[in-house]
Structure 1
Amino acid sequence: MTHRHYAHTLHAGQCHYGWDNALAPVQIVPPGETLLFHCKDASDGQITATSTSDCLARLDAARTNPVNGPVFIEGAMPGDALKVTIGAFTPSGFGWTGIIPGFGLLADQFPVPKLHLWHYDTKLNEPAAFSPYGRVPLMPFAGTIGVAPAEAGRHDIIPPRHVGGNMDMRELRTGSILYLPVEVEGALFSIGDTHAAQGDGEVCGTAIESAMDVEITLDVVKGGAPRFPRLTTLSADPRHLDRNGAEVTTGIGPDLMAAARDAVSGMIDLLCGSYGMAPEDAYMLVSVCADLRLSEVVDAPNWVVSFHMPRSIFD
């Protein structure tokens, strides 16, 4: 999908499905090297352009969130930081968003699988259409990016960890610099779970899941390991989704997770009432473009979680 020459390319088949510091590296590179990763989508290709909603209930969970790697970086030692500079993304033009039974913030309210397929402009000049309800501006990023933990054994790929992993932060986009704590020699870096767009929170459990290529430069900062992943962004969020304001719902109470659920449920109710959307469609749409925020955590005993749906989606 790209014509630039790279000294190192990780192909789609060079992937794994769990963090394990015993995995043999598929590439060994010096610090400062730029690599090209051919990343699969989060379903490992199980969802295609002909898939239907019932396919989601039959997904092989052992194949979810494949990550390309691991890559051994020469000179990286425990206590160092791995400096990850994120370069250009080359998207595939196809993606999907789904409600997967038992997964997502409101899994108890949405037990039936539902799939939405996306076809978008690979130049990212045009938003992707979401049925007749709205259009979502695209901004590719890597949902899962991390290094091997010091603890032996295989660790599930789904939960994020102090060494990175499935963080699902849309700031992990072109131009951003991520610092990860190195815990094993060589760091053993891996990346995958690429997304074409996502709202903060990824509330239904999926974004626009989409295979794509991504350029990554790996370097080492000696003795610079942060306690948790640290990120530097060098530009504003390019989507500018708040240009026409937002609809905002809230959840308020002593439990932040319950408040988050209330805020999202409130937005689904609002979209269904205002636009005639089915609840399942509203749930998937907000997952790819609405932002969940901690608005207040100091006025005990209750906290405020807000959910921001950009009005520009409906222009």
Structure 2
Amino acid sequence: MSIHSVKRNQCHLVWDHSIQPILRVESGDTIKFDCLDASNGQITPDSTATSLTSLVFSSLDQVNGPIFVKGALPGDTLKVEVISIETADWGWTACIPGFGLLSDEFLEPSLKIWKLNKEEGFAYFDEEKGIKIPLKPFAGEMGVARKEKGPFSTIPPYATGGNIDTRHVTAGATLYLPVQVEGALFSVGDGHAAQGDGEVCGTAIETPIVAELRLTVVKDRPYTKTPHFKTPPINISNEEYYCTTGVEPDLRDAARSALRHMIQYLSQEHEMNPVDAYMLCSVAGDLRMHEVVDMPNYLVGMMMPRSIFSK
């Protein structure tokens, strides 16, 4: 099997099956992708919150590719094995006006620049308070081209993948994507060093990554109609959580309520300002559906691991 390389500038900004592939590879080949962060290099370690006001939004969430996988035909499945993900030594998290689950409540831009301790596998959210986040890097964007004539934004997820922002697709995981066009036309990007389930403020710990992936065509998975994935071992033994909940007849309202309650809890019990609490929920908290059958209300929880509070 061959190993290929994709450079940072070999990227595109929309999903569109008319985009010419940058590589044609055999099924089973490995590709190493060198990807800029989701800001497409607009945010740097020296950036401040004022930098967010000049972001060119049409340049965000670029993906590297597309890769034509020989033998992939509509109806097949593209098997994406995540061999490794390496981050940069820095990252960023932001509240960007117009993005996030509570975008109507957090209207001012805010930016946090992280120093990533890759050797020990964590990043301090607040060193003085002893709040540190385990690093679990993954690519937020992994997808193949849609059969419909494009272009389609890279911001949302689709049945063919895209911005799935799923923190469990780390090294050792396998992602399965439904092929809709010949060659699949796979692309990847949006590196994250850590993220909670839900990415509630709209950003995780965003960072450049080098992702090594193996792409294989599978012919016998007709049930792959949306992204499926198989995780590496997930160890949550002995973890303790503090959970707030939202109880509402609308699922999104319940999620927003659970998040608001966690922000209030963190603000009072851990003496955080609300915007810091909001960003902490995005990088470390898990938004979970706990009860969805007893109408008229849904119950959604925001679960915060207590282990991140080392003091």
Which bracket does the TM-score occupy, shorter chain normalised?
A: over 0.9
Relative to the length of structure 2, the TM-score reads 0.96
**Secondary structure, counterpart of 1:35 in structure 2:** strand
Structure 1 consecutive aligned stretches of length 4 or more whose deviation exceeds 4 Å: none
CA contact (8 A) 2:15 2:145 kept: yes
Map 1:150-189 onto structure 2 (within 5 A).
150-189=147-186
Deviates more, 1:21-30 or 1:133-142: 133-142
Cα shift at 1:147: 0.1
CA contact (8 A) 1:79 1:223 kept: no
Cα shift at 1:58: 1.5
CA contact (8 A) 1:243 1:312 kept: no
CA contact (8 A) 1:171 1:233 kept: yes
Relative to the length of structure 1, the TM-score reads 0.95
Could you tell me which residue of structure 2 aligns to residue 62 of structure 1? 58
**Matched letter for residue 120 of structure 1:** L
Query: Which of 295, 300, 305 in structure 2 is aligned with 1:300?
Result: 295
Structure 1 unpaired stretches of 5+: 1-5
Could you tell me which residue of structure 1 aligns to residue 230 of structure 2? 232
Cα shift at 1:223: 4.6
**Matched letter for residue 298 of structure 2:** W
Alpha-carbon distance between aligned partners in 2 of 1:91 and 1:147, rounded to the nearest angstrom: 23
* Deviation sequence 1:56-103 (CA, Å, 0-9, x none): 122111111111100000000000000000111121111000000011
Alpha-carbon distance between aligned partners in 2 of 1:227 and 1:234, rounded to the nearest angstrom: 22
**Secondary structure, counterpart of 1:270 in structure 2:** helix
Could you tell me which residue of structure 2 aligns to residue 97 of structure 1? 93
CA contact (8 A) 2:87 2:193 kept: yes
Could you tell me which residue of structure 2 aligns to residue 12 of structure 1? 8
Map 1:103-252 onto structure 2 (within 5 A).
103-123=99-119, 125-131=120-126, 132-133=128-129, 134-225=131-222, 226-237=224-235, 240=236, 243-252=238-247
Alpha-carbon distance between aligned partners in 2 of 1:208 and 1:26, rounded to the nearest angstrom: 28
**Secondary structure, counterpart of 1:192 in structure 2:** strand
Cα shift at 1:7: 2.8
What is the aligned-residue identity percentage? 48
Alpha-carbon distance between aligned partners in 2 of 1:252 and 1:234, rounded to the nearest angstrom: 33
Alpha-carbon distance between aligned partners in 2 of 1:135 and 1:212, rounded to the nearest angstrom: 21
Structure 2 unpaired stretches of 5+: none
Cα shift at 1:286: 1.1
Cα shift at 1:245: 1.1
Alpha-carbon distance between aligned partners in 2 of 1:214 and 1:27, rounded to the nearest angstrom: 16
- The alignment of Structure 1 onto Structure 2 pairs a total of residues equal to 306
Alpha-carbon distance between aligned partners in 1 of 2:136 and 2:121, rounded to the nearest angstrom: 11
**Matched letter for residue 310 of structure 1:** P
CA contact (8 A) 2:171 2:232 kept: no
